[in-house]
Copies of this chain bind each other. A is one copy, B any other.
Amino acid sequence: MSAARKAYDIIRADIIEGRYAPGDRITEGEVATTAAVSRTPVREALHRLEAEGLIRFVPNQGAFVASWGVEEAEEIFELRARLECYAVELCAQRASDAALAELRDLAERQLVAATERPRGYLKKIADLNSRFHTALLHASNSEQLRASMATLANAPLVFQTFRDYSEESLARSARHHLELVEALEARNPDWAAGVMRAHIYAARSVFRNVHQSRERALGQKTA
């Protein structure tokens, strides 16, 4: 594995898993030491992460972990709704049978995990969910779309909220995926887009509820 990739993986994991807090400054030297590579590939990784929206660069000051307000989160959901709907429309026209089979497999395993809830099922669901959306994007086979979506691959947003999903919401999310596959197998772009819209807006609704709960909790704490 290349040194740049190594640095990228480490920094990304540190951000997503919360070892860097939003707004934190990431110094190149520190990462270079922990990753046991030089600063050059670290800079490369940081710039890539900036393009993906996980960090922001300030000239001559370095990299800071991006922080989203609730407003920006709403925008991300809106953008995902529009772009992923387009993705599934393309999929309905283009996806190979093999790709559809893979999507079905992922969706079915996610539904099993969501209903049977084995040990560590939350992590498993998050992983399957991520792979499902990635596979979808891949099956849409559009380089331009992939590039646009890359900036929204804000896994933190999805990842962090997953543990706040109710059991029913988790199952519904998995069922959305399954219905989406059905729509794709039927080669019906409108159906697929409709399911995807519902999927994203349902996720936004969960996010809003969680956020409001947190706000209330904070309000009581400070009061």
Contact = CB atoms under 8 A, between A and B. Distances in A.
Q: Which 4 A-B pairs have the closest CB atoms?
A: A51-B51, A147-B151, A82-B82, A53-B147
B79 A145 contact: yes
Contact of A48 (B40, B47, B52): B47
A30 B196 CA distance: 46
Contacts of A43: 44
Contacts of A147: 51-53, 151
A59 interface: yes
A75 interface: yes
A2 interface: yes
Interface string A136-174: 000000111101111110000000000000000000000
Interface residues of A, number: 30
Interface of A: 2, 40, 43-44, 47-48, 51-53, 59, 66, 72, 75-76, 78-79, 82-83, 86, 90, 142-145, 147-152
A145 B52 CA distance: 11
A137 B195 CA distance: 29
A152 B47 CA distance: 18
A73 to B, nearest CB: 9
A82 B86 contact: yes
B151 A79 contact: no
Contact of A144 (B2, B76, B86, B144): B76
A40 to B, nearest CB: 7
A149 B79 CA distance: 11
